[in-house]
Amino acid sequence: MDLIARGTSGYTKKKRDETLQQYIRRLTHLYLENKNIDDIGEDLSFCRNLIVLYLYDNQLNRVPCLNSNCSLTHLYLQNNNISKIENLGALGRLQKLYLGGNSITVLEGLEKQHHLQELHVENQRLPAGEQLLFDPRSLRTLSQSLQILNISGNSLTSIRDLDCLLSLTQLLASDNQLSDMKELAHLLGGPWKYMTRLDLQGNPLCMRAKYKDRVIVMGKYLEVLDGKNITETTRQFLLNWHASREVTRKKTQDNLMRQDTFSAATNGSHAGDLPPVRSAVSRQTSVSGYIMPGLPRKQFDDILAKSNFPDQEISRKTRSGVMRAKFSLKLPRIHSKAVMSPRAPTTFVFHLH
What value does the mean pLDDT take over residues 301-329?
51
Q: What are 1-60's pLDDT values in tens digits?
A: 888 888 887 667 777 788 888 888 888 999 999 999 999 878 888 888 999 999 999 999
What value does the mean pLDDT take over residues 141-163?
96
3-state SS record for the chain? CHHHHHCCCCCCCCCCCCCHHHHHHCCCEEECCCCCCCCCCCHHHHCCCCCEEECCCCCCCCCCCCCCCCCCCEEECCCCCCCCCCCCCCCCCCCEEECCCCCCCEECCCCCCCCCCEEECCCCCCCCCCCCEECHHHHHHHCCCCCEEECCCCCCCCCHHHHHCCCCCEEECCCCCCCCHHHHHHHHHCCCCCCCEEECCCCHHHHCCCHHHHHHHHCCCCCEECCEECCHHHHHHHHHHHHHHHHHHHHHHHHHHHHHHHHHHHHCCCCCCCCCCCCHHHHCCCCCCEECCCECHHHHHHHHHHCCCCCCECCCCEECCEECCECCCCCCCCCCCCCCCCCCCECCEECCC
Q: What are 56-98's pLDDT values in tens digits?
A: 999 999 999 999 999 999 999 999 999 999 999 999 999 999 9
Q: What are 283-292's pLDDT values in tens digits?
A: 454 444 545 5
Supply the pLDDT for residue 317: 45
| Sequence-ordered list of residues with C-beta below 8 angstroms from that of 116, at least 6 positions apart, any chain | 94, 95, 96, 97, 110, 142, 145, 146
What value does the mean pLDDT take over residues 120-144?
96
What value does the mean pLDDT take over residues 173-196?
94
